[in-house]
Amino acid sequence: KIDEQHRNDIFKNIVFIWINDKIEHRCLALQLFILFIEIEHEQFDQYLDDIFNFIERELNNIQHDDI
């Protein structure tokens, strides 16, 4: 079993880094993301701020690329 701090580190450092990498890493990142949802259940809310910030950054990057 992984303690909470290590789970947070994995989520923030691996999932968010891999999601921007090559397609194989994106697939692994999304699988990890789903595992976090399944394992954390109600506690998954603690990651929502990071997720929304990540999505916002990605959308801003897409908008800037289109200009």
The pLDDT of residue 62: 78
C-beta separation of 15 from 33 below 8 A: yes
Q: For the CA atoms of 56, 59, 64, 67, what is the dihedral angle to 10 degrees?
A: -140
* Alpha helices by DSSP H, 1-67: 4-9, 16-18, 23-40, 48-66
| Model pLDDT for residues 37-55, shown as the tens digit of each residue | 888 888 888 888 888 888 8
Comparing CA positions, the residue from 25, 5, 6, 19 lying closest to residue 51 is 19
Q: Which residue has the tokens 């259940």?
A: 41
| Model pLDDT for residues 17-35, shown as the tens digit of each residue | 888 888 888 888 888 888 8
